[in-house]
A and B are shown apart, each in its own frame.
Chain A
């Protein structure tokens, strides 16, 4: 796969992601490049909706590796992250063997691979031939210390031991993307294992480009105005500042209403697509929708 070519460059990464409709800035492109070149996990932290999770998705479709996603939560353990035995089938199998009157089923039988349920971490290291999979460990800040400790070990060894079956080891390590919204600090040791990138909201020009890519049905002028308005909203100290996802949704909503310019009434009507909290909507209304529209049109007006 071209993704893993030895003469890959940072520019190649940016170009390939752009082909997948993802526009990465130089910092993000460099960290992704390094994750591939140095075979290290990439930890992406940043506000909600800045495009962290999407990185893993576009990496998978670019490289052709399977996307394996592990959504973290507090208390996540081996049975959901790595593997589990299919207990129901094991019991059925044991009973069936017994009722046939034959010798009781041997232990080896019940603990064979066909009763094994493979979870994302096991699948990431036991993937057969073809391009290595992309392992997405999403929202790791929601997990807990025990899981982080386990993850640290996993990401150092790329091996998993199942007592009944032995050790599985990756021939080629997966591409690992870990995301965090930073609701708490990820443990330093785990951070040190990874390359780190703090994902920021895109600047105005990039945001316009992203919107135009993801909502091509909208007028170019509208994309500019939305990007400008969103930039203003982000400066308002909201509980949840709008991310790129909200810019895209908002543009799509405005386009669906047949608008190619924003105006006060439509913005008021569609504010819920960009600000998800009632308090935030109130704050924006208090600051003045008319003013918001005026500056946005002034900035993005011509669509140039």
Chain B
């Protein structure tokens, strides 16, 4: 290995240690880039590294820090680059998706808890309030939620495929021409295409403020089940606290346990206060209106206690409603006897909500999964009687409860 290679390998490793996903091909590209710009000046080296090793603006601060620490004296000593043999370095690349953990590792660790629960206990557990579970019950509830298949309803995409049926989509000119070859160009047999369907994108906005904490854990896990479910569309997950945090990346791991830890780790204000309206505005500004929410099913999980500016929540809900395909509000408090959505924020938001459901127990989350797959309350049937009603007109009924 030549000296520049060695230096780059060390730099790549330093970046990886700080959480940047630097792959081997990126590192190799950086070596070529260094060769092209020359190692003599700091700025070109800096920019060559940014162009080849960084692929997200969020990673720039980390890159800057590592760069400052690593290249200080390297660039100055560029002249000696070839002369000094450094300690041997291996280009070790850890591919996240490569290493399978033994499949039974997880099972073994909580097998004790699982065996302790008899079937009837599971039934009770399904209906129990997540906030009141003991540790071993919680472990089993997590397992049940993780096993849910969570996918949103399908939509016709703009992509088409050959079809036997006429009139479900545009004519297939390519096949029509090919088949007409046999008839001197007379298109006797026409071919057709039809739209391919695909699941809608799902966006989860999870309130992680203090009042929601016990449920937030269940719902984060529900969101993870959505990420992990086969045939589900793209899933985006955000935590709403005193500010908005995108946790999609953290949840995109195979091991739900690790994903959860990562998610709560990146939520700075787990258990802080909520400014729902402000959080929603940030989502709309940065993600929603620009694309993530467009045409998707948005699931907001919150008790609707908003400590922010009045009026903001309603106007941001209206904005969200304009771009989303459907908005589902999960409110664990809805299950409490005599509940009326009196929380100011909840009342302000309801007119823009398509489905208003519980989310306090495993079984209510099962119901939520059914609603998401069926595209609304009507389609899912009234299991549990948990689902609230749709927009505007029917809204009044809920308020009078």
A interface with B by C-beta (< 8 Å): 10, 26-27, 30-31, 33-34, 37-38, 40, 43, 45, 73-75, 77, 85, 87, 90-95, 97-98, 104-105, 107, 110, 141, 144, 146, 181-185, 188, 191-192, 195-198, 237, 239
Task: From known contacts A87-B176, A192-B55, infer whether A110 and B285 are also in contact, taking CB-CB under 8 Å.
Answer: no
CA distance A185 to B287 in the complex (A): 11
Excluding A94-B181, A95-B186, A195-B51, 11 further A-B contacts by CB distance (< 8 Å) are A27-B47, A30-B47, A33-B36, A34-B33, A90-B177, A110-B177, A141-B291, A183-B290, A184-B292, A191-B55, A195-B29
A301 to chain B, nearest CB (A): 32
Query: CB < 8 Å: which of B51, B54, B177, B292 contacts A34?
Result: B51
Q: Which residues, 131 to 186 on B, are CB-close (under 8 Å) to A?
A: 157-159, 173-174, 176-177, 180-181, 184-186
Q: Determine the residue in chain A with the shortest Cβ distance to B185.
A: A94
CA distance A5 to B129 in the complex (A): 70
Question: Is residue B395 within 8 Å, beta carbon to beta carbon, of the partner chain?
Answer: no
Which residues of the other chain, A, contact B50 by a CB distance below 8 angstroms? 27, 31, 196-197
Q: In the bound complex, do residue A87 and residue B173 qualify as a contact, i.e. CB atoms below 8 Å apart? A: yes
Q: Determine the residue in chain B with the shortest Cβ distance to A106.
A: B181
Question: Is residue B375 within 8 Å, beta carbon to beta carbon, of the partner chain?
Answer: no
Q: In the bound complex, do residue A237 and residue B185 qualify as a contact, i.e. CB atoms below 8 Å apart? A: no
A200 to chain B, nearest CB (A): 9
Question: Is residue B25 within 8 Å, beta carbon to beta carbon, of the partner chain?
Answer: yes
Q: Determine the residue in chain B with the shortest Cβ distance to A47.
A: B290
Q: In the bound complex, do residue B29 and residue A38 qualify as a contact, i.e. CB atoms below 8 Å apart? A: yes
Q: Determine the residue in chain A with the shortest Cβ distance to B172.
A: A87
Which residues of the other chain, A, contact B57 by a CB distance below 8 angstroms? 45, 198
A11 to chain B, nearest CB (A): 10
Q: Determine the residue in chain B with the shortest Cβ distance to A74.
A: B158
Which residues of the other chain, B, contact A74 by a CB distance below 8 angstroms? 157-158
Q: In the bound complex, do residue B51 and residue A26 qualify as a contact, i.e. CB atoms below 8 Å apart? A: no
Q: In the bound complex, do residue B47 and residue A91 qualify as a contact, i.e. CB atoms below 8 Å apart? A: no
Q: Which residues, 46 to 70 on B, are CB-close (under 8 Å) to A?
A: 47-48, 50-52, 54-57, 60
Q: In the bound complex, do residue B181 and residue A34 qualify as a contact, i.e. CB atoms below 8 Å apart? A: no
CA distance A197 to B56 in the complex (A): 9
Which residues of the other chain, A, contact B174 by a CB distance below 8 angstroms? 85, 87
B111 to chain A, nearest CB (A): 36
Question: Is residue B23 within 8 Å, beta carbon to beta carbon, of the partner chain?
Answer: yes
Which residues of the other chain, B, contact A26 by a CB distance below 8 angstroms? 43, 47
Which residues of the other chain, B, contact A85 by a CB distance below 8 angstroms? 173-174, 177
Query: CB < 8 Å: which of A38, A45, A237 contacts B32?
Result: A38
Which residues of the other chain, A, contact B23 by a CB distance below 8 angstroms? 192
CA distance A107 to B285 in the complex (A): 55
CA distance A181 to B292 in the complex (A): 12
Which residues of the other chain, B, contact A196 by a CB distance below 8 angstroms? 50-52, 54-55
SS class, residues of chain B in contact with chain A: helix
Closest 10 CB pairs of A and B: A94-B185, A183-B291, A75-B158, A98-B184, A30-B47, A87-B173, A37-B36, A198-B57, A31-B51, A191-B55
B interface with A by C-beta (< 8 Å): 21, 23, 25-26, 29, 32-33, 36-37, 43-44, 47-48, 50-52, 54-57, 60, 157-159, 173-174, 176-177, 180-181, 184-187, 234, 284-285, 289-292, 294
Q: In the bound complex, do residue A91 and residue B187 qualify as a contact, i.e. CB atoms below 8 Å apart? A: yes
Q: In the bound complex, do residue A33 and residue B55 qualify as a contact, i.e. CB atoms below 8 Å apart? A: no
CA distance A31 to B37 in the complex (A): 10
Which residues of the other chain, B, contact A90 by a CB distance below 8 angstroms? 177, 185
Q: Determine the residue in chain A with the shortest Cβ distance to B187.
A: A91
Q: Determine the residue in chain A with the shortest Cβ distance to B25.
A: A192
Q: In the bound complex, do residue B184 and residue A104 qualify as a contact, i.e. CB atoms below 8 Å apart? A: yes
Which residues of the other chain, A, contact B56 by a CB distance below 8 angstroms? 185
B81 to chain A, nearest CB (A): 20
B174 to chain A, nearest CB (A): 6
Query: CB < 8 Å: which of A45, A110, A146 contacts B181?
Result: A110
Q: In the bound complex, do residue B285 and residue A237 qualify as a contact, i.e. CB atoms below 8 Å apart? A: yes
CA distance A132 to B258 in the complex (A): 48
CA distance A45 to B60 in the complex (A): 13
A-B contacts, 9 of them at CB < 8 A, read A26-B43, A26-B47, A34-B36, A38-B33, A75-B158, A91-B180, A94-B184, A104-B181, A237-B285
Which residues of the other chain, B, contact A97 by a CB distance below 8 angstroms? 184-185
Which residues of the other chain, A, contact B33 by a CB distance below 8 angstroms? 34, 38, 195
Q: Determine the residue in chain B with the shortest Cβ distance to A239.
A: B285
B283 to chain A, nearest CB (A): 12
CA distance A198 to B108 in the complex (A): 46
CA distance A197 to B60 in the complex (A): 11
Which residues of the other chain, B, contact A188 by a CB distance below 8 angstroms? 21, 55
Which residues of the other chain, B, contact A185 by a CB distance below 8 angstroms? 56
A218 to chain B, nearest CB (A): 31
A241 to chain B, nearest CB (A): 10
A233 to chain B, nearest CB (A): 15
B236 to chain A, nearest CB (A): 8
Query: CB < 8 Å: which of A77, A87, A104 contacts B177?
Result: A87
Query: CB < 8 Å: which of A43, A95, A197 contacts B184?
Result: A95
A278 to chain B, nearest CB (A): 12
CA distance A85 to B52 in the complex (A): 39
Q: In the bound complex, do residue B291 and residue A184 qualify as a contact, i.e. CB atoms below 8 Å apart? A: yes
Which residues of the other chain, A, contact B181 by a CB distance below 8 angstroms? 94, 104, 107, 110
Which residues of the other chain, B, contact A184 by a CB distance below 8 angstroms? 234, 291-292
A170 to chain B, nearest CB (A): 20
CA distance A184 to B234 in the complex (A): 10
Query: CB < 8 Å: which of A30, A141, A144, A198 contacts B44?
Result: A30
Query: CB < 8 Å: which of B48, B177, B290 contacts A30?
Result: B48
